[in-house]
Chains A and B, each alone.
Chain A
Amino acid sequence: MAEGLDTEVKTNPQGDVITATEAPKAKEKENKAAKQRVVTPEYLFFEAPRTKTFITGSEAAKEAIRRANVDIAISYPITPQSETMQQVGYLYAEGYLKDYYRGEEEYGVMSAIAGASRAGVRALTATAGPGLMRGMEVITSWPGGRMPLLLLVMCRVINAPLAIQPDNVELSYLLNSGVIVFHAENQQDFYDFPLKAYMISEKCEVTLPVAVAVDGFFVTHARGWVELPPEDIKLPPRECYHEAVPMMDNENPPARLSRDAPIQKSNFISYQMHASWQQEIWAAQDRARPWIKKYMGGLVEVVNPGAETMIVASGSAVSQSREAVRQAGERGDTIGLVKIRSLRPFPTQELIEACRHAKRIIVPEFNCIGWMAKEVRSALFGQTKAEIIPGPRVFGGMSMPTELILEYLYKTPNEARMTTKPLTV
Chain B
Amino acid sequence: MATATVSPRYQVLPGPEGLLPPSACAMGVELPQDGEGLVEGVIVSEDKAFKAAARAMLTRRNPTLFPGPLVVWGWNKHTEEKASVVLEIAAEIPSVKIIPMPDYRPIYPKIDPEAVINPCHPNLTIWHNKIEACIFVGLHCHFANVTLKMVRAGTNCYTIALCAEAGHEDAMASVPRCGTEKLHKMVEALRQVKKEGLTPWALTADGKRELAAERAQKKKQREAIAAAAPQFAHELVAGLDENEE
Contact = CB atoms under 8 A, between A and B. Distances in A.
Interface of A: 146, 203-205, 207, 242-246, 252-254, 256-257, 259, 261-262, 265, 268-270, 272-273, 275-277, 279-280, 282-283, 286-287, 290
Interface in B1-52: 20, 22-26, 30-31
A205 B105 contact: no
Given A252-B75, A256-B105, A272-B153, 5 more contacts: A242-B165, A244-B142, A245-B141, A283-B169, A286-B25
Closest 8 CB pairs of A and B: A283-B25, A244-B142, A205-B166, A204-B165, A268-B106, A261-B105, A244-B141, A283-B23
Contacts of B142: 146, 207, 244-245, 280
Contact of B73 (A254, A265, A272, A276): A254
Contacts of A257: 69, 103-104
Interface string B178-197: 00000000000000000000
Interface residues of B, number: 34
B145 A280 contact: yes
B119 interface: yes
A57 B108 CA distance: 52
Secondary structure of the B side of the interface?
A: loop
A282 B26 contact: yes
A259 B23 contact: no
Contacts of A277: 146
Given A245-B142, A256-B103, A262 B119 contact: yes
A203 to B, nearest CB: 8
A194 B180 CA distance: 35
Contacts of B167: 205
B106 A261 contact: yes
Nearest to A279: B23
A272 B104 CA distance: 15
Contact of B141 (A204, A252, A254): A204
B149 A276 contact: yes
B30, B104, B142, B145 pick with most chain A CB within 10 angstroms: B142
Given A280-B145, A280-B146, A283-B25, A273 B121 contact: yes
B25 A246 contact: no
Nearest to B20: A275
B146 A276 contact: yes
Nearest to B25: A283
Contacts of A280: 23, 142, 145-146, 149
Contacts of B141: 204-205, 207, 243-245
B213 to A, nearest CB: 30
A170 to B, nearest CB: 27
A301 B237 CA distance: 66
Given A279-B23, A279-B26, A280-B145, A262 B106 contact: yes
Interface in B181-217: none
A287 B146 contact: no
Contacts of A276: 145-147, 149-150, 153
Contacts of A244: 140-142, 145, 165
A275 B25 CA distance: 15
B150 A272 contact: yes
A168 to B, nearest CB: 27
A273 B153 CA distance: 11
Interface in B117-145: 119-121, 140-143, 145
Contact of B31 (A205, A245, A246, A279): A205
12 contacts: A207-B141, A244-B142, A246-B140, A254-B69, A254-B103, A262-B119, A268-B108, A272-B121, A273-B150, A280-B23, A280-B142, A287-B25
